[in-house]
Amino acid sequence: MSTVEIARPAAATAQESEQAATTDGFHLVIDALKLNDIDTIFGLVGIPITDLARLAQAEGMRFIGFRHEQNAGNAAAIHGYMTQKPGICLTVSAPGFLNGLTALANATTNCFPMILISGSSEREIVDLQQGDYEEMDQLNAAKPYAKAAYRVLHAEDIGIGIARAIRAAVSGRPGGVYLDLPAKLLAQTIDAVKAKQSLVKVVDAAPRQLPAPDSVKRALDVIKGAKRPLILLGKGAAYAQADKQIRELVEKSGIPYLPMSMAKGLLPDTHAQSASAARSFVLQEADCVVLIGARLNWLLAHGKGKTWGAAPKRFVQIDIAPTEIDSNVAIEAPLIGDIGSCVTELVAGIDANFPKPPSEWIAAVTEKKNKNLEKMAATLAKNPSPMSFHSALRAIRDVLKTRPDINVVNEGANTLDYARAVIDMYEPRRRFDSGTWGIMGIGMGFAIGAAVTSGTQVVAIEGDSAFGFSGMELETICRYDLPVCTIVFNNNGVYKGTDVNPTGGKDLAPTVFVKGARYDKMIEAFGGVGFNATTPEELTQALQEAIKSGKPTLINAVIDEAAGTESGRLTNLNPQSGVKK
């Protein structure tokens, strides 16, 4: 299975040319992907898919090889989010598959279209549990974590299998799809003409879904009656690529808007109607909230409780998934359809007679916003030594302001919380972060996915703990010479680096890392450029140089080890035992 022979097994000799030309499973998988305009595979080779990767490259596709499947999967997922085409992750069987499955589950949770393709062992042996090499019932293992899962057993079904996977990944609510390809299938030969006929070019993979006219009217009526309306944009709105329509809705209605973290930049964060700096105030005070591609999950306190204040709310919700409606609170006006179509209909309903939000509401939001911005400016202006999260972020913010086209990846606890608030975004789909699960470990995968997909600069702002989950991909970044600058906020530990072992024993506290670690040295091992920054000035200079070079770079940003709060902003989710820290 691991031969390097990748030439199409078509008639090569005189004797063979008398027989009908044949092809095989390997070639058909690549043909089916290419036919559907898929040009990149993220993955990690091994038995039984090494030749599939080689063949993909030989046939003109890009194969981006990783050091761990989870990172390849995360890159594929972000590729899907950026392009509306499923990102492909290719793995070996059993453990490789399971590593990729984490990313598939994360993609499904975040509504990113992705297909995890894994090679697998022989069905006959797996099903009788006879102990095959890397034996695992991968199809059933994938099902609970994927939007759909398929297995192809016959070469003539490869075309249909890939078509079903593509359609499942991108239609309706996007998500992760698992495609199981047993080793035997890849080696199967099939008549070339029959094979060609079996391929399927997917037509209109994510059809527009127009909202019902009565739903549109109901939504407009609810918005019309509002005294303190608010538009809440989620990453579904960014994914939908309905940027123009959304801007029109916001500006034509005059309603303040709040972007969820990955919707930042859909309109520039500096837009006059952005209520980001008055987030708590508008969530509490609004009497009508128009949710556009945002779920009322934990990130929005489930639409109730203290976060949402005492004032009763009326909700309008635009979503492509009807079952999302009423998931946490009653939605008075659901608008089911694709965001582009739904927003277009709302915009059409906002005529000259449509009431503007009362001026007292706009004034109250503006006042709160300005006050909070002033407070933030004072915090950012401080210059402690060692650097605080804020003084480091000020330096980064000022550099990124000059390059609105830069992709920003962000994960960590405090590093995520503070960066989200401080770093302004100016263009849609430029911010990629911990997302719906609020997880660590997406960093280098998302950074590589964003760099490969956009071909432009990425700046990954990473907590030192978060970075550790995918740090080995620095080699991948260097190998593909990607324009990724990773900034590690190094405060010597998880949350912070000052905890002590209460027993006085030799082991460090569970939250503490090697003190004074030099993450910048890691990238130098692979030929990248490392910087060590201990002041905002050094950080500014390093980042400017890194961006100018467009080369793989890493900045070790030394942050006060006492800075940082436990669990960042999520203290309430972390039960405390009372053990001394």
Which span sits near ligand ADP by CB under 6 A: 58-66, 134-142, 229-237, 542-550? 229-237
Q: Which two three-digit tokens encode residue 421?
A: 């608030």
Of all helices (H) and strands (E), which one includes residue 259? strand 257-259
We find the least distance from the C-beta atom of residue 321 to ligand ADP, in angstroms, to be 4
Q: Which two three-digit tokens encode residue 38?
A: 């898929």
Which span sits near ligand ADP by CB under 6 A: 38-46, 161-169, 259-267, 473-481? 259-267
Strands 458-463 and 431-433: unpaired
According to CB under 6 A, which one of 26, 63, 66, 239 is a site residue for ligand ADP?
239
We find the least distance from the C-beta atom of residue 171 to ligand ADP, in angstroms, to be 10
Length of the chain: 581
∠ CA(89), CA(259), CA(451), 5° rounding? Answer: 35
According to CB under 6 A, which one of 70, 110, 188, 556 is a site residue for ligand ADP?
110
Tokens 């202006």 correspond to 381
Residue placing its CB nearer to ligand ADP in the complex, 149 or 263: 263
For position 134 contacting ligand ADP by CB under 6 A, the verdict is no
Which span sits near ligand ADP by CB under 6 A: 10-18, 21-29, 232-240, 382-390? 232-240
Measured CA to CA, the distance from residue 117 to residue 273 in angstroms comes to: 43
DSSP class of 123: H
Residue placing its CB nearer to ligand ADP in the complex, 388 or 436: 436
Phi/psi region, residue 99 (left: phi>0; alpha: psi -120 to 50; beta: rest), is alpha
Tokens 């390849």 correspond to 72
Measured CA to CA, the distance from residue 258 to residue 277 in angstroms comes to: 9
Q: What phi and psi, each to the nearest 5 degrees, are found at residue 71?
A: -70, -35
For position 262 contacting ligand ADP by CB under 6 A, the verdict is yes
Residue placing its CB nearer to ligand ADP in the complex, 301 or 321: 321
Which residues from 265-324 bind ligand ADP, rule CB under 6 A?
293-295, 297, 299, 319-321, 324
For position 235 contacting ligand ADP by CB under 6 A, the verdict is yes
DSSP class of 493: B
Q: Is 254 exposed, middle or buried (0-12, 13-18, 19+ CB in 10 A)?
A: middle
Q: What phi and psi, each to the nearest 5 degrees, are found at residue 492?
A: 70, 15
Residues 6+ positions from 519 with CB-CB distance below 8 Å = 464, 467, 471, 488, 490, 530, 554, 556
DSSP lists the bridge partners of residue 118 as 91, 180
For position 236 contacting ligand ADP by CB under 6 A, the verdict is yes
Contact by Cβ (8 Å): 294, 239: no
Print the binding letters for residues 366-405 with ligand ADP: x by CB under 6 A, - otherwise.
----------------------------------------
According to CB under 6 A, which one of 32, 44, 116, 263 is a site residue for ligand ADP?
263
Which of 412, 388, 411 has its CA nearest to residue 493?
Answer: 412
Write down the H helix ranges in 402-484. Answer: 414-422, 443-454, 464-468, 474-479
Residue nearest to ligand ADP (CB): 236
Tokens 């019932």 correspond to 137
According to CB under 6 A, which one of 113, 229, 234, 445 is a site residue for ligand ADP?
234
For position 436 contacting ligand ADP by CB under 6 A, the verdict is yes
DSSP class of 400: H
For position 334 contacting ligand ADP by CB under 6 A, the verdict is no
For position 111 contacting ligand ADP by CB under 6 A, the verdict is yes
Contact by Cβ (8 Å): 240, 340: yes
Which span sits near ligand ADP by CB under 6 A: 1-9, 258-266, 363-371, 507-515? 258-266
Residue placing its CB nearer to ligand ADP in the complex, 295 or 390: 295
Q: In b/e form, how buried is each residue of 268-282, taking b as 16+ CB within 10 angstroms? A: ebebebbbbbbbebb
For position 240 contacting ligand ADP by CB under 6 A, the verdict is yes
We find the least distance from the C-beta atom of residue 76 to ligand ADP, in angstroms, to be 18
We find the least distance from the C-beta atom of residue 343 to ligand ADP, in angstroms, to be 9
For position 173 contacting ligand ADP by CB under 6 A, the verdict is yes
Total residues binding ligand ADP (CB under 6 A) = 24
For position 107 contacting ligand ADP by CB under 6 A, the verdict is no
For position 98 contacting ligand ADP by CB under 6 A, the verdict is no
Which of 48, 36, 67, 64 has its CA nearest to residue 2?
Answer: 48
Residue placing its CB nearer to ligand ADP in the complex, 96 or 293: 293
Residue placing its CB nearer to ligand ADP in the complex, 324 or 411: 324
- The total of other beta-carbon atoms located within 10 Å of residue 218's CB is 16
For position 338 contacting ligand ADP by CB under 6 A, the verdict is yes
We find the least distance from the C-beta atom of residue 354 to ligand ADP, in angstroms, to be 23
Residue placing its CB nearer to ligand ADP in the complex, 134 or 338: 338
Contact by Cβ (8 Å): 273, 251: yes
Residue placing its CB nearer to ligand ADP in the complex, 235 or 247: 235
According to CB under 6 A, which one of 103, 339, 365, 558 is a site residue for ligand ADP?
339
- Residues in touch with ligand ADP (CB under 6 A): 110-111, 173-174, 234-236, 239-240, 260, 262-263, 293-295, 297, 299, 319-321, 324, 338-339, 436
